[in-house]
A and B are shown apart, each in its own frame.
Chain A
Amino acid sequence: MFSTRNFNFSKPVLFVLILFPSLLWAYQFVTGNLGVNPIEKLMDELGLMALRLIIITLMITTLSNIKPLKSIVVLRRMIGLFAFYYVCLHFSTYIVLDHFLDIQFIIQDIIKRPFITFGFISFLFLIPLASTSTNNMIKRLGFKLWKKIHYLIYPVAILASMHFYVLVRADKTEPVIYMGIIILLLLHRIFKRLTRPQLAQ
């Protein structure tokens, strides 16, 4: 049985572990050690990290259904915010480094190309999630409304994995694995909801 305290103790370690890759890539980028096409590499790594973290937040919710792991849910907010952090870095790499703030081109790119549209909507949906993540906001909104807002994580996860799927040219194995995990996690939620004892109206 892991207590909330156990998980709270692991937070600082997790914080450093999840932050570390971004610092490493930034360092490698600046020192010219990110390979031959560093902007592409940076963008890919940041985006992949963001997608993985989004999936991990979904997994945490599922894992918290297992009795001994119930308290793992205390890690969810931090990981969710880190997902947003990586998405922001990913998106700013695209805007600043890849397209040099050519806003007109970027707007056209977002509208015209489905995979960029998916990624962009996913980013937009993450903003309300990140900005309502404090205890204070939960209180102000009320748990019910807050929870409704946070259902946005489902379209975020689906769109983010589609963003990755469409981007890949031939070997779709990795994006398919992520999509599969997301679908399983969503199915589990639907199953749970259907089998839950109905409350009296």
Chain B
Amino acid sequence: MKILGSEITPYKTYLNRRKFIKGSLASTMLATVTSSAFANHQSDLSIYSKNLNGNDKLNSYEEITTYNNFYEFGTHKKHPHLNSGNFKPRPWTIKIDGLVKKPQTFDLEKILSNVTIEDRVYRLRCVEAWSMVIPWQGFQLSELIKMAEPLSSANYVQFVTVFRPEEMPGQQKRTIIWPYREGLRMDEAMNPLTILATGLYGHEMPNQNGAPIRLVVPWKYGFKSIKSIVEIRFLDTQPETSWETLAPWEYGFYANVNPNVNHPRWSQGTERRIGEFKRRETLMFNGYEEEVAHLYKNLDLTKFY
């Protein structure tokens, strides 16, 4: 019954498997990548699913791109798909500041030319007790952190989403305090499972999924995986994060997927995998226990939820 994260996410075997993406990115011709990758997505799904075990099945491109929580485009699941058409993900820069050797602003293209884009098929478990299996393309956050050269006093990383109310209609309403902010402890950020994703199913990241670049932390609830990142700050103390600020009794800083710690309003013991009829059991750390449990050895997960 229990699946290990490594069974669904053999990221080491994915490394360099799709060199053509990296090659094209290196020449910064992103448009070329998109068209070739799109053809790929249409013609050969097996490159994403062949390493899945019997327990998990890829969700469809349609499911992944029409059912989203991205309040910047509205609070309903269909809003991001319907309302993100005017969002312009290019050109894009990411500001690096806080406890770093030299604060600077990177062009996204420059970042992409310095990293290795890989396929990562991850389960995504939303705090609302639904889940999907998504084939991302991206690179390890640790690669960008190395480029940013944080000081040894940097214990935490904070991420900030872009604020463009004219392109993101949800931001015209104060449902949450904009811009959206998230954070990780440095060892979580450096964990090889943590990626910055720039595509899914071989497409450039769709607007509704956090174009052009978003975080994916597969052992944490989905709201930790902040979208459309424009700023990364290195800090010595734990940063404020959006949902924790809004309702600290419901959403913690850690937000690790944990079937034994319930949300005050619903059980986290089970989840509905999108596309499935019956609920399934939620796995500790979303099934990535082997890779990440050691990070929390000395932490009371009922208190630091």
Contacts and interface: CB of A to CB of B under 8 A. Distances in A.
Interface of A: 35-37, 39-40, 97-100, 105, 109, 113-115, 166-167, 169-171
B71 A40 contact: no
A39 B175 CA distance: 26
A115 B265 CA distance: 7
A35 B81 CA distance: 13
B265 A37 contact: no
B228 to A, nearest CB: 18
Given A36-B66, A36-B77, A167 B279 contact: no
A96 to B, nearest CB: 11
Given A115-B265, A167-B265, A37 B75 contact: no
Given A36-B63, A40-B130, A170 B77 contact: no
A113 B265 contact: yes
B145 to A, nearest CB: 30
Contact of A170 (B63, B75, B264, B277): B75
Contacts of B128: 169
Given A35-B78, A170-B75, A40 B267 contact: no
B94 interface: no
B47 interface: no
B274 A36 contact: yes
Contacts of A169: 75, 128
Contacts of B67: 35-37
Nearest to B173: A171
Interface in B113-136: 128, 130
Given A36-B274, A100-B278, 16 more contacts: A36-B63, A36-B66, A37-B272, A39-B272, A39-B277, A40-B130, A40-B272, A98-B279, A105-B267, A113-B264, A115-B265, A166-B265, A167-B265, A169-B75, A169-B128, A170-B246
Interface of B: 62-63, 66-67, 71, 75, 77-78, 128, 130, 173, 175-176, 246, 264-267, 272, 274-275, 277-279
A22 to B, nearest CB: 20
Nearest to B132: A36
A167 B71 CA distance: 16
B266 A113 contact: yes
A171 B75 contact: yes
B125 to A, nearest CB: 14
A35 B67 CA distance: 8
A113 B250 CA distance: 13
Given A40-B272, A100-B278, A35 B175 contact: no
A47 to B, nearest CB: 15
A170 B173 CA distance: 11
Contacts of B274: 36-37
B77 A37 contact: yes
Contacts of B63: 36
Contacts of B62: 36
A113 B267 CA distance: 9
Contacts of A35: 66-67, 77-78
Nearest to B60: A36
Contacts of A166: 265
A170 B71 contact: yes
Q: Which 5 A-B pairs have the closest CB atoms?
A: A36-B67, A171-B75, A170-B175, A171-B175, A36-B63
25 contacts: A35-B67, A35-B78, A36-B62, A36-B66, A36-B274, A36-B275, A37-B67, A37-B77, A98-B272, A99-B279, A100-B278, A105-B267, A109-B266, A109-B267, A113-B264, A113-B266, A115-B265, A166-B265, A169-B75, A170-B71, A170-B175, A170-B246, A171-B71, A171-B75, A171-B173
Nearest to A38: B277
Contacts of A39: 272, 277
Contacts of B264: 113
B272 A170 contact: no
Nearest to B264: A113
A121 to B, nearest CB: 16
Contacts of A105: 267
Contacts of B75: 169-171
Contacts of A170: 71, 75, 175-176, 246
B206 to A, nearest CB: 14
Contacts of B130: 37, 40
A55 to B, nearest CB: 21
Nearest to A170: B175
